[in-house]
Structure 1
Amino acid sequence: MKSLTIDNLDFELMIDHDQIQKRIRLIGIDLNMRYQDKHPVFIGVLNGCFMFMSDLMKQVVIPSELSFVKLASYSGTEQGRLSELIGVGMDLKGRDIIIVEDIIDSGHSLKYTMDALERLEVASISVCALLMKPANLQVTFDNIMYIGFEIDEEFVVGYGLDYNGQCRNLPNIYQHVPSGS
């Protein structure tokens, strides 16, 4: 599919599945070399990371573990403020952590995740994200080690990213095309 429409919003193909897989293979090769003697723990941030994490872990051949977390938000008037990191489910003290994200936008949720993991006394934290919007970053990071693709401020769907819960299952990434473009 070169384009699609969701709830009267038009999207066009931005990054196809083959490009995504090539980039993931390169990231996997580097992770295997960098962490070959460290037995890292990959922490995927749900829901968006599931496709990226699945394909990434197929490229990681070193001994490692994985888990998933989910960020919960306050409801009501505080909506959007992060309140809790749910689901680590294992002792991470002294472990090397690789956070796997679908997209880094403002950086606030990533910062919250990192702060929560640091309180667990981990040895190190690195970040691996499929997409990043550098122009939108409002937080400074020194441990983003892997970025699949840098994009502008486009709204994107597919390959784990959704619009109103739709399109996470698509194998490609599509960008929103404003009306009249």
Structure 2
Amino acid sequence: MRQFAGILCAVLLSISLAGCFTAKSPLIGADEAEFPYDRIVFVAIDRPEDRLILQRDGDTYLFRPSDEDERYARLRLKGFGEGFYVAQLQAPPGEDDPGPLYAVLAVSADGRRIASHAAIRPDDFEAVPGLSLCDTSVCIDDLGAYVAYARARILAGAAPDAEYRILEAE
């Protein structure tokens, strides 16, 4: 898992798995996944030299640091309102699988910027129905509770965990 941590960090901003939002099993199934584009190339605002690629592959996106890289994670998106998605990221084949990791993505009105929210457990996190502490991470037991939690943080003006700029979308 450590060798692929750079990719996971780029999307979910987690240097280790400590403090992430996770679940015991995937919460977004193939039949619920949404694909706004077949291919998306983007960069983290604070790391514009690192191009990241999402390429649709059946019922998931392959998430790679470049076209040439053989390593990939699998990512699914599920929309929950205009411009908002839950992202579910699973480790690449052959890596230790800590379980899926989650973030809520807010897409700008022009579709060129993305803000990632509720990917990292805030220091003041308190368990609520559907979200519980498990070690240093937050376990999502109910996707609806996770979405409600993220929306409340966004409406309260919480800063995003990370921000991205879309370079290409086709």
Normalized per residue, which structure has more strand? Answer: 2
Normalized per residue, which structure has more helix? Answer: 1
Larger C-alpha radius of gyration, 1 or 2?
Answer: 1
TM-score by length of 1: 0.27
Where relative contact order (Cα < 8 A, 6+ residues apart) is larger, the structure is 2
